[in-house]
Amino acid sequence: MTQHPEHAGFQVSNSQPLIAIPWDDHGRQGTRYFTDEAEADAALGSDVTTDALNLAGAWSDLDFDELVDALDRIRHERTPTPPIDLDR
């Protein structure tokens, strides 16, 4: 990682990850950036993992077949997103 003191930014090589973690401290919000996965994981703490695992079971009371049918119905009721032109 190279830092440029005259700029409010930094650069990383294409092979290096850039991990953004949003934070909220009593209404004050921002984003912390990491280039090391272990440091990003440590910044998240174990509460995030517990919350994610709890979220995974949040829909356990739903009937799977009904859920699939509802998602399929929603998909067919909506207008598809037009193709994205990447040549611009």
- Looking at the structure of the chain, the number of domains it has is 1
In a domain, 62, yes or no: yes
**pLDDT classification of 6: cutoffs 50, 70, 90:** low
What percent of the residues of the chain are helix, what percent strand, and what percent coil, each to the nearest 5? Answer: 40, 20, 40
Residue 5 has pLDDT above 70, yes or no: no
Domain that holds residue 64: 2-77
* Residue 45 belongs to a domain: yes
- Kindly state whether residue 82 falls inside one of the protein's structural domains: no
Judge whether 86 lies within some domain.
Answer: no
For residue 84, being part of any structural domain is answered with no
Residue 83 lies in a domain: no
- Per-residue pLDDT at 2 exceeds 70: no
pLDDT score of 4: 53
**For residues 58 and 67, what is the distance between their CA atoms, to the nearest angstrom?**
13
Evaluate whether residue 39 is within a structural domain: yes
17 touches 37 (CB < 8 A): yes
Q: What percent of the chain has pLDDT over 90?
A: 16
Checking if the pLDDT of 56 tops 80, the result is no
The pTM assigned to this predicted structure is 0.45
13 domain-assigned: yes
Strand stretches in 1-88, DSSP E: 2-3, 10-11, 19-25, 28-34
